[in-house]
Amino acid sequence: CSALVHEECSINNVNQNNPVPQRICTSCYCLLCKCRKNLDHICHCSVCSEPVDKTNSLCYRCEKIIHLTCSEEIVAPEKNFEIRVICSSCLCAAKLNISSKAYLEIRSNDLLCDEHVSRASSMLRSQFQEEIGGLHAPLAVSFGMRMDKANYYPHRERQEDYVQLMHTGSSHWVTCIFQKGSGTATILDSLRNNHLPGHVKIQAAMIAHVENHLTIIRPPCKQQSNAVDCALFAIANATEFCFSKKVQYIDFDSEKLREHWIDCLHAKKMSPFPRLAARPKKTREEEDCEVVKINCPCRLPDIFDDLVGCDNCDKWFHLSCVNLKSLPEGEWFCSSCPKADKTC
């Protein structure tokens, strides 16, 4: 409404299509429906979407208003085992041991958040921990973020297969695979025509921990036909490799991925995702191949940060690795060189 209000008389309203918090006054926001309201606003049940009457209650998890007939009473462990009212969506989420937000993402055909990826990684790790490395909770990275502010993945053992689900930093998920005995990173990307982001290269280098260079290939794989199923394809590709120990083109049945993921949550264990063809698909498409240069002793790629070269030994270092905020104006020598005390 553009009115001037006290901060305590307004709240942060986060729209799913615009995740940037915006202040909204309490007069323009319905605390029962958890949404903006118009002058003629009528509260509706969050389950059946019908207008509410006097016989209504609040779901204790999502705190949205619901008809008593659209709710159930359960014993709530997080509320000191008291009897509480819960809506059907939150009840399903509780049975799957995921948040209500994560459950709605599945049912509304929305983009899946990192909660799903972390859960799938955890389930796969518990099933294949003796055979496959990795499968850690994904790093929280976002577009424009400096990667030296993020945590690091543990280094892989070269004698084991290694799988990691990665966020690209821009609302997209991919599967990274290192096969036993190989130093090459294989990226299975359901939007393969897009440029491979620097965040993925940096994360792959964190895991590989190699010197000089890292080879990254992106073989042909099943492509998503919309903008929201990338996490499902990443989980499906990771699951397929864990079971088969092979990198191959699997023609997944896109229409059944979400239901299968729910089945896995119900079963509390992963199983291969549905496919259209029983055998791996053959294709004439060529692999994308890229060599990522690595010069700094930290063994992260050059794109991690700006580089500075020692004027004595010709070695290169990331600025952040040698505690520099900007490139030196004169000569610069690394700490290993005898001229280190003559830095400018």
Q: Assess if residue 102 is contained within a domain.
A: no
Per the domain annotation, does 300 fall within a domain? no
287 and 312 belong to one structural domain:
no
Per-residue pLDDT reduced to its tens digit, 277-325? 777 777 767 778 888 888 787 777 777 778 888 878 878 888 888 888 8
106 inside domain: no
Asked if 59 and 66 count as a contact pair (C-beta separation under 8 A), the reply is yes
- Per residue in 80-109, pLDDT (tens digit) is 787 877 777 787 887 888 888 888 888 888
Residue 311 lies in a domain: yes
Whether residue 16 is found in the same domain as residue 66? no
Query: How do the residues of the chain divide into helix, strand and coil, expressed in percent and rounded to 5?
Result: 30, 25, 50
Q: What CATH number does the domain containing 81 carry?
A: 3.30.40.10
Q: In a 10 Å sphere around its CB, with 0-12 CB exposed, 13-18 middle and 19+ buried, how is residue 186 labelled?
A: buried
d(C-alpha 242, C-alpha 244), whole Å: 6
208 with 256, same domain: the answer is yes
Which alpha helices (DSSP H) does the chain contain, by range?
Answer: 88-96, 100-107, 114-128, 198-208, 230-244, 257-267
Residues 137 and 34 reside in one and the same domain: no
Do 274 and 134 sit in the same domain of this protein? yes
Same-domain pairing of 138 and 227: yes
pTM: 0.74
Residue 128: alpha-carbon gap to chain centroid:
21
User: Is 36 in the same domain as 69?
Assistant: no
Verify that 50 and 169 share a domain, yes or no: no
**Both 137 and 256 in a single domain?**
yes
Q: Per-residue pLDDT for the chain (344 aa), expressed as one digit of tens each?
A: 666 666 766 766 645 444 455 677 766 776 666 767 666 666 676 666 666 665 567 777 777 777 766 677 777 777 778 787 777 778 788 788 888 888 888 888 889 999 999 999 999 999 998 899 999 988 876 555 555 555 577 778 888 899 999 998 888 999 999 998 888 899 999 998 778 888 888 888 888 877 678 899 999 999 999 989 999 999 999 999 999 999 999 999 999 999 999 999 999 999 999 999 777 777 767 778 888 888 787 777 777 778 888 878 878 888 888 888 888 888 888 888 876 554 44
Domain that holds residue 127: 114-293
Alpha carbon dihedral 39, 43, 49, 55, in 10-degree steps, equals -150
- For the chain, how many structural domains are there in total? 4
